[in-house]
Amino acid sequence: MSKYRGNPEAVRSLVRDLEVHKDVYVDPEVFDLEMEHLFANTWVYVGHASQVPNKGDYYTTTIGRESVVMVRHTDGSIKVLYNRCPHKGVKVAGGTCGNTGKFFRCPYHAWTFKTDGSLLSIPLKKGYENTGFEGCEGKNGMAVVPEVREYREFVFCKLNPGGISFEDFFGESLSTIDNMIDRSPEGRLEVAGGVLRYMHNCNWKMLVDNQTDTCHPMVAHESSAGTAVKVWNEAPEGTPKPMAVELFAPFMSPYEFFEGMGIRIWENGHGHTGVADSIHAAYSPVPGYWDQLVAAYGEERASKILGDTRHNTVYFPNIMIKGPIQTLRLFKPIAVDKTLVESWTFRLVGAPDMLLERTLMYNRLINAPTSVVGHDDLEMYERAQEGLKSRGMEWTNVARLFDPAEKDQKNVTTNGTNEWQMRNQFRAWARFMTESM
Amino acid sequence: MTTEITQKDLIDFVYAEARMLDEQRFEDWLSLFTEDGYYWMPLAPGQDDPKLHTSLLYEDKLLLKIRVERLTGQRTFSQQPMSRSHHLLQLPTVESADPAAGVYTVRAAFHYVETRLDQQALYAGWSTHTLVEQDGQLKIRLKRVDLVNCDAAFGNIQLFM
């Protein structure tokens, strides 16, 4: 018997003001419902337009559990199609990316489809005449994801038609994407440097929760960032501070630093740490970059762009963006206890290579399966995934700095160690989980 | 007073280095690197740029030292209990030798096992050592580790291949 399926009240009761039920992380039925409802009712990140610059370029990925292909159509627009042949269900687009020309051709029986999904041809088509084929689901070709929005080259989609609009869903939160793009003197980003793929044996939401969890770095990362600071302190005086130390050291900032840096809460589960300050604020200037920005934007605006050093921005449900370090992390749910973390990086088009070099160093030091910081975190997630199976307690806790008045507020800034953003995520979770039940 | 480096010296060096790692003699292992030495695990097959394309690892001696110190830290919970490793090397081959410059490259195909608690993972690939002669001793200027599936999604890789 289903505990949660068809029972929106039971799903809603998993989220309390101060607590979240363990089933949210460990129950396979809740996971299935997330894939069916949460990932269909929200605007989910697909990819970046620079991954498909030319007509016929495609990139395959998943939205929740759905295999999709993002493709540059012959009219120049970007389409998102379910990657499934209407004939026998074969994934039509193979591999991760490529160019398919003017049409997709299924490798099994050579059914072909235009890059908007519509059926182009079937071999021996006569065999379908007078069979009633035109009444079949597959007559139109590959299924199209109806709601696709490209925001300054960031492509999002929503699997369920209707519901919340793109603008209402994201509201003011798009300012983080704006800031990352504005950091390019040409106002343009390109996916660059390869993607790090890191398999986690834990629920995807543990990673999302962690992004605005500012009470863990100085504890969980004492082993990595703390050791980095210690080893660096042994270097002879006058040794220039290496880039790696500059990237590691701020993780060891004290609680007061994280309290002071602040968290901004938007609606629908979006929010970011690092309002007044952040661990990315004190990086060394890159020669030539400032002059490029001043030439592009003028001194005042350039200063404003670089002064906005947001730490982690969560776009609910499953991405995090770091504007100052040009990184996008995608938390892909695979099973209730399995998540693929993809860490993507961007080149600021027109900016010095040194910025990309720093971004890539950050990415491999922090987000790689070989990263010591990653090891610290994954150990905690995997312990939590095991620990939460305990029948000793039912709830996890998100009470830190709770204020009953917070519930109707949005676009506000609060203490950087507040768990408000996690509560914000779970309120959004309960809403979009049950919206289509 | 230079002694001639033989093919056997080069091969023995690579075997001894792998053994050091499996015996967890990490401080000794670090001392095998030159001061400007690097350990590199590319992320893409045939990758030739360690800086403008990301890697699994591209670490200088400072970063390697941090990594080694961390392994035994009191609050390094991902290493409690510690991982263990096992290298199985094919006979290394000397790919190039320049005795005048004191620079040699040696390639070895390997299977590598890393294990912790009840998990065991198998990796396969090739290591390429760029070895240099310093004060009559061989040192590692670059150890490059190419995994056959370098672009796959991995769980934690916590030790050294």
- Spell out the SS3 assignment of chain A: CCCCCCCHHHHHCCECCCEEECHHHHCHHHHHHHHHHHHHHCCEEEEEHHHCCCCCEEEEEEECCEEEEEEECCCCCEEEEECCCCCCCCCCCCCCEEECCCEEECCCCCCEEECCCEEEECCCHHHHCCCCHHHCHHHHECCECCEEEEECCEEEEECCCCCCCHHHHHHHHHHHHHHHHHCCCCCCEEECCCCEEEEECCCHHHHHHHHCCCCCHHHHCHHHHHHHHHHHHCCCCCCCCCHHHHHHHHHHCCHHHHHHHCEEECCCCCEEECCCCCCCCCCCCCCCHHHHHHHHHCHHHHHHHHHCCCCCEEECCCEEEECCCCEEEEEEEEECCEEEEEEEEEEECCCCHHHHHHHHHHHHHHCCCCCHHHHHHHHHHHHHHHHCCCCCCCEEECCCCCCHHHHHCCCEEECCCCCHHHHHHHHHHHHHHHCCC
Share of chain A above pLDDT 90, in %: 98
Is A196 part of the contact surface with chain B (CB cutoff 8 Å)? yes
What was the pLDDT predicted at B2? Answer: 54
Which residue of B36, B47, B70, B149 is the best one to mutate when testing the A interface, meaning the one whose CB has the most A CBs within 10 A?
B70
Residue B73 has its nearest CB partner, among A227, A357, A365, at: A227
A408 confidence band (pLDDT: 50, 70, 90): confident
Helix (H, G, I), strand (E, B) or coil at B16: helix
The mean predicted confidence, pLDDT, of chain A is: 97
Is B41 part of the contact surface with chain A (CB cutoff 8 Å)? yes
- Residues of A whose CB is below 8 A from B43: 194, 196
Residue pairs between chains A and B whose CB atoms are closer than 8 Å:
107
- Residues of A whose CB is below 8 A from B70: 223-224, 227, 372
What was the pLDDT predicted at B1? Answer: 42
What was the pLDDT predicted at A370? Answer: 98
The string of pLDDT tens digits covering residues A20-64 is 999 999 999 999 999 999 999 999 999 999 999 999 999 999 999
Query: Which residues have C-beta within 8 Å of that of residue A125, sequence separation ≥ 6?
Result: none
Residue B154 and residue A196: Cβ atoms within 8 Å?
A: no
Mean pLDDT of A272-295: 96
Residue A228 has its nearest CB partner, among B66, B76, B155, at: B66
On the question of pLDDT at A75 being above 80, the answer is yes
The label of the residue with tokens 């094919």 reads B90
- Residues of B whose CB is below 8 A from A222: 73, 75
On the question of pLDDT at A360 being above 70, the answer is yes
For residue A415, how far is the Cα from the chain centroid? 24
Tokens of A273: 């740490």
What was the pLDDT predicted at A175? Answer: 98
Considering only A119-133, A232-246, A421-435, which range has the smallest mean pLDDT? A232-246
Q: Which residues pair with B147 in a beta bridge?
A: B125
Q: Which residues of B67-105 are buried (b: 16+ CB within 10 A; e: fewer)?
A: bbbbbebeebebbeeebebebebeebebeebeeeebebb
pLDDT tens across the length of chain B (161 residues): 456 899 999 999 999 999 999 999 999 999 999 999 999 999 999 999 999 999 999 999 999 999 999 999 999 999 999 999 999 999 999 999 999 999 999 999 999 999 999 999 999 999 999 999 999 999 999 999 999 999 999 999 999 99
Give, as one character, the DSSP assignment of residue B78: G
Share of chain A above pLDDT 70, in %: 100
Mean pLDDT of A291-311: 97
The string of pLDDT tens digits covering residues A365-405 is 999 999 999 999 999 999 999 999 999 999 999 999 999 99
Q: ipTM for the complex? A: 0.96
